[in-house]
């Protein structure tokens, strides 16, 4: 297994906080401290800046998220707003700004149906917005966390939202079918410090989390009545930590990405390295074993903040760092 | 933060300032690799002004040379600082000011950790966690009121270095 640098995308000034591929994988969005969003596309074998989005935010853009249709891009900013950009006119424009959080918005995520957007903030809340005809209405304000909420992600096919916080916990929310209220259905406790990021596997039956405590944890879903005998409340599944990967990282782990094509796991760490993990074949589903198969040392000159797998091209990974660069990597598996 | 109505610690104990760094022949030799050392990093922070007294962090013994650790190989700088009183509400601001000063002065390759000297503050774990969260530090430096207060504390550093 080797990790080969394909391209270095230069343009941002200061920290790059997040990178995201659009659903087709034709555009890579990056955002950062310079308040801009950059869209990069492939042009005769090279990745070039296609679009520069400015003036949407007054402060750092912390995260970007594409809608499942690829026509919309949401951006979360320290200026307490979330901007919605679309290219309906033929070029990307900011056509809506959603407000409500008291301070920095840390993360934004679009549900797979495209119906909902979730945002979270240092104000400890998670907000769910319902979108209809380019109007965004607040559907719920969830105050379950006791501290700064760092990340929100949606389940790959259910209308379920998962959040990670400075309070060391992960929480899951879904709409209660009886009263249509969004409720906290599960709290995942095990990390010993801030949980920075989350990723589901392809089936949505397992979740990986990464933390300031320098570990990764794999959580598995156990449905009510499961044969393993894991207790549930009878209605919702229980998510149990089935694996902890400790001792591999020498700094906070800021991001984790679980590839839905290859099942490889990539991590972004404050020690400037990118690591790739793989599940061992035939490992026990209730006690799985993952191994570190490759480390790219000095992948960046400073903290790596974000990693994302390409949606259609196997082994293509993008990363963003405090060093202001976005890098593209090719991970090549050696088959025996 | 910013305006303090009553002084939290109205009669702080004063400490003797250290001498200026002695410049050696090796320091003047342009061909020698001049690695960052503890004294150099200490000089960057010792003249930071306390947020509520017209005194430097060194004079209040908040920072000491012996609480500065530099590891050039690992690109790591660790500072332990000692609040003047164990329930000092200015501790986070002081730590943040030290972090901002080091971020501005040291090469970007350095990872800086700013921590409370163990056992010297009632909520040291919470403050250490906050100072260790680079995202919150980044947001704090975009807060206009807060960065003004920090810049005021850092203005004295400029004054002493000229």
Q: Which residue from B17, B24, B25 is spatially nearest to B42, judged by alpha carbons? A: B17
Please write the tens of the pLDDT for every residue from A128-185.
999 988 899 999 999 999 999 999 999 999 999 999 999 999 999 999 988 889 999 9
- A35 close contact with B: CB closer than 8 A: no
The arithmetic mean of pLDDT across residues A206-233, rounded, is 97
Question: Residue A44 pLDDT more than 90?
Answer: no
Q: Which positions in chain B touch A212 (Cβ < 8 Å)?
A: 132-133
In a domain, B40, yes or no: yes
CA B72 to chain centre: 19
Nearest to B100 by CA among B122, B79, B121: B79
Q: Do A108 and A117 form a contact (C-beta atoms < 8 A)? A: yes
Give the full edge-to-edge strand order of the sheet including A206-211.
A195-200, A206-211, A216-222, A238-245
C-alpha to C-alpha distances, A95 to A133, A135, B90, nearest whole angstrom: 12, 10, 42
Q: Tell me how far apart the alpha carbons of residues B36 and A163 are, in angstroms, rounded to a whole number.
A: 41
Calculate how close chain B gets to A334, using CA atoms only, in Å.
Answer: 32
Chain A within 8 Å of B5 (Cβ-Cβ)? no
User: What pLDDT shows up at residue B156?
Assistant: 77
Of B109, B129, B138, the CB nearest to A33: B138
CA distance to partner chain A, nearest, from residue B95 (Å): 19
- What CA–CA distances, in Å, run from A295 to A1, A208, A256, A313, A324? 9, 19, 14, 20, 21
Tell me the average pLDDT across A231-241.
95
* B14 is a domain residue: no
Residue B149 forms part of a structural domain: yes
Does position A103 have pLDDT exceeding 80, yes or no? Answer: yes
Q: Is residue B135 part of a domain?
A: yes
Q: Which residue of B has its CA nearest to A195?
A: B133
> What pLDDT score was predicted for residue B97?
97
Model pLDDT, residue B3:
44
Q: Does A314 touch chain B (CB under 8 A)?
A: no
ipTM score of the complex? 0.95
pLDDT of residue A97 exceeding 60: yes
More confident residue, A75 or A178: A75
Of A105, A97, A99, A129, the residue nearest A115 (C-alpha): A129
Looking at every residue in chain B, the average pLDDT score rounds to 89
Q: Which residue has the higher pLDDT, B37 or B18?
A: B37
Of A101-110, A288-297, B10-19, which range is least confident? Answer: B10-19
d(C-alpha A124, C-alpha A153), whole Å: 16
Contact B139 A194 (CB under 8 A): no
What does the alpha-carbon distance between residue A109 and residue A119 come to, in Å, rounded to a whole number?
Answer: 7
CA distance B152 to B93: 12
pLDDT at A133: 84
Residue in the block written with tokens 């947001």: B139
Give the helix/strand (H/E) hosting A10.
Answer: none
Is a pLDDT exceeding 80 seen at residue B159?
A: no
B30 part of a folded domain: no
Which of the pair, A240 or B159, is modelled with greater confidence?
A240
Q: Does A175 touch chain B (CB under 8 A)?
A: no
* A256 and A268 Cβ atoms separated by less than 8 Å: yes
From the list A62, A194, A323, which residue is nearest B133 (CB)? A194
Chain B residues close to A251, C-beta within 8 Å: 111
Cβ neighbours, 10 Å, residue A190: 17
Q: What is the DSSP letter of A146?
A: S
Give B1's pLDDT tier (boundaries 50, 70, 90). Answer: very low
d(CA A108, CA A123): 14
pLDDT of residue B35: 85
Q: Please indicate, yes or no, if residue B152 is contained in any of the structural domains.
A: yes
Q: How many domains does chain B have?
A: 1
CB atoms A303 and B134 under 8 Å: yes
What local confidence, expressed as pLDDT, does residue B23 receive?
74
**Does residue B18 lie in a domain region?**
no
B145 to chain A, any CB pair closer than 8 A? The answer is: no
Minimum distance, in Å, between the CA of residue B109 and any CA atom of chain A: 6
Domains of chain A: 55-189 (2.130.10.10)
Predicted pLDDT at B2: 43
Name the average pLDDT for chain A: 96
Q: Nearest CB to A104: which of B108, B111, B139?
A: B139
Question: Up-side HSE of residue A71: CA atoms within 13 Å toward CB?
Answer: 7
The sign one gets for the Cα dihedral B52, B55, B61, B67 is: positive
Contact B129 A193 (CB under 8 A): yes
Rounded to whole angstroms, the Cα distance separating A20 from A62 reads: 12
How big is the CA angle at B149 (ends B52 and B17), to the nearest 5 degrees? 50
Which residue range(s) make up the domain with B52?
A: 35-157
Question: For residue B1, how far is the Cα from the chain centroid?
Answer: 18
> What are the pLDDT digits (tens) for A28-38?
999 999 999 99
- Do A59 and B135 lie within an 8 Å CB cutoff? no
Please check whether residue A184 is in contact with residue A167, taking contact to mean a CB–CB distance below 8 angstroms: no
Q: Is B126 an 8 Å CB contact of chain A?
A: no
What secondary structure does DSSP assign to B111-161, as a single string?
A: EEEEEEPTTS-TTHHHHHHHHH-HHHHHHHTT-HHHHHHHHHHHHHHHHHH
For A172-217, the pLDDT digits (tens) are: 999 998 888 999 999 999 999 999 999 999 999 999 999 999 999 9
Task: Please report whether residue B131 resides in a domain.
Answer: yes
Task: Give the domain CATH number at B77.
Answer: 3.30.300.130
Q: What is the pLDDT of residue B4?
A: 46
* B111 in reach of chain A (CB within 8 A): yes
């Amino acid at each position: 297994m080797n990790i080969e640098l394909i391209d270095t995308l230069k343009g941002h000034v200061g920290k790059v906080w997040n990178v995201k591929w659009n659903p087709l994988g034709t555009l890579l969005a990056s955002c950062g401290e310079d308040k801009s969003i950059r869209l990069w596309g492939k042009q005769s074998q090279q990745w070039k800046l296609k679009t520069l989005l400015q003036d949407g935010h007054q402060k750092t853009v912390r995260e970007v998220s594409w809608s499942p249709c690829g026509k919309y891009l949401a951006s979360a900013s320290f200026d307490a707003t979330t901007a919605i950009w679309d290219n309906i006119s033929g070029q990307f424009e900011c056509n809506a700004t959603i407000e409500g959080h008291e301070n920095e918005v840390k993360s934004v995520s679009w549900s797979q149906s495209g119906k909902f957007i979730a945002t979270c903030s240092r104000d400890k809340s998670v907000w769910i917005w319902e979108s209809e005809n380019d109007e965004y209405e607040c559907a719920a304000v969830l105050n379950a966390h006791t501290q700064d909420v760092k990340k929100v992600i949606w389940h790959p096919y259910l209308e379920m939202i998962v959040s990670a916080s400075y309070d060391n916990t992960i929480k899951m929310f879904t709409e209660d079918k009886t009263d249509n209220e969004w409720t906290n259905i599960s709290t995942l406790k095990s990390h010993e410090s801030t949980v920075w990021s989350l990723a589901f596997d392809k089936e949505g039956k397992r979740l990986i989390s990464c933390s300031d405590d320098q570990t990764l944890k794999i959580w598995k879903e156990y449905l009510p009545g499961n044969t393993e005998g894991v207790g549930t409340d009878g209605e919702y599944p229980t998510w149990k930590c089935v694996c902890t990967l400790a001792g591999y990282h020498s700094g906070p782990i800021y991001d984790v990405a679980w590839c839905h094509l290859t099942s490889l796991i990539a991590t972004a760490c404050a020690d400037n390295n990118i690591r790739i993990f793989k599940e061992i074949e035939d490992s026990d589903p209730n006690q799985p074993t993952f191994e570190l198969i490759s480390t790219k040392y000095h992948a960046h000159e400073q903290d790596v903040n974000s990693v994302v797998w390409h949606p259609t091209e196997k082994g293509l990974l993008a990363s963003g760092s405090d060093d202001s660069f976005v890098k593209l990597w090719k991970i090549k598996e050696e088959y025996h | 933060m910013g305006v303090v109505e009553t002084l939290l610690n109205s009669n702080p104990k004063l400490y003797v300032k250290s001498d200026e760094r002695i410049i050696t022949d090796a320091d003047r030799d342009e061909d020698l690799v001049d690695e960052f050392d503890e004294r150099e990093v200490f000089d960057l922070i010792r003249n930071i002004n306390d947020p509520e007294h017209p005194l430097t962090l060194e004079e209040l013994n908040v920072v000491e040379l012996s609480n500065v650790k530099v590891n050039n190989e690992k690109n790591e700088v660790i500072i332990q600082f000692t609040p003047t009183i164990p329930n000092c509400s200015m501790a986070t601001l002081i730590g943040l000011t030290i972090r901002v000063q080091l971020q501005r002065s040291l090469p970007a390759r350095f990872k800086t950790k700013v921590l409370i000297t163990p056992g010297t503050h009632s909520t040291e774990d919470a403050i250490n966690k906050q100072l260790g969260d680079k995202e919150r530090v980044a947001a704090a430096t975009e807060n206009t009121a807060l960065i003004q207060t920090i810049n005021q504390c850092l203005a004295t550093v400029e004054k002493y270095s000229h």
